[in-house]
Amino acid sequence: MTISKKKPAIVTAAMPASLRAAVAPYEWARGSVGESDAAVYRLQGKDGAPDLFLKQGKDAIAADIADEMARLRWLAQYLPVPAVVQFACVAGPDQAWLLMTALPGTTAAEVLEANPALGPAVVDALAAFLRRLHALPVSDCPFNAGHAVRLAQARQRIDAGLVDAEDFDAGREGWTAEQVWAALQDCLPLVPDLAVTHGDFSLENILMQEGAVVGCIDVGRAGVADCYQDLAIVWRALGELDAALQQRFAQQYGILDIDQGKLQFHLLLDELF
């Protein structure tokens, strides 16, 4: 990653003074965390100071960043997630900045890319972590991420022209967003198996170190939802590598018969985000 010692003016210009002071000693590198639409920067500390990440965005993205901040603070009681160092927002136009700690480790995607032979061990670690997440107390979680909420958000995205049809999975190449929407309606009604979910349980959002999961990132969609919200995302990712990894994951997670209908619904829904 190339380091730029010049802080991006567009990011720092409207920052509240306290946040501007907090990031002043750091060198900046433009990077990416998960698949967020926010601008993401890794702030590299000097003299042994720990690295930080900064997410910044405007308007709807600012609202997403605020959502992630709230979820990080709640999840920190239970799971290794980035700690919120500072959060700031200003109005007119809405802007938000989320400064958080950098977690150790390498993404599960990078681990598997570097050494595909580690697939079974990575799958076992992912399944154990997802069981831990899904065992969190649903009654204590203040965030509703259920399919009704997500469908309403998806409809808004379609109407606003925000869906990238060119990024659809290969099986839906050439589809329109409206065709995906229609296919979703054919999957309803859905009877959810409720759990506290990550919302985007992809290999890029899970960090590993020495064979164990040491944290998760990009939790802006976390909340109570059908557990297949997470299962579908990781199922698709593992299937792109080896179908045997899918079966191992299901067994390690504790599912004897995977619900293909729910997988289909949540993968269709994910196309619209």
**Can you tell me the distance from the alpha carbon of 214 to that of 257, in angstroms, rounded to the nearest whole number?**
28
Residue position matching structure tokens 């925000």:
162
Tell me which residue of 122, 108, 130, 113 sits closest to 203, measured CA to CA. 108
**Can you tell me the distance from the alpha carbon of 93 to that of 161, in angstroms, rounded to the nearest whole number?**
21
Tell me which residue of 148, 151, 145, 234 sits closest to 196, measured CA to CA. 145
From the candidates 200, 218, 226, 230, give the one annotated as an active-site residue.
Answer: 200
The answer to whether residue 51 is catalytic is no
**Can you tell me the distance from the alpha carbon of 160 to that of 59, in angstroms, rounded to the nearest whole number?**
14
**Can you tell me the distance from the alpha carbon of 227 to that of 64, in angstroms, rounded to the nearest whole number?**
22
Instruction: Give the residue numbers marked as catalytic.
Output: 200
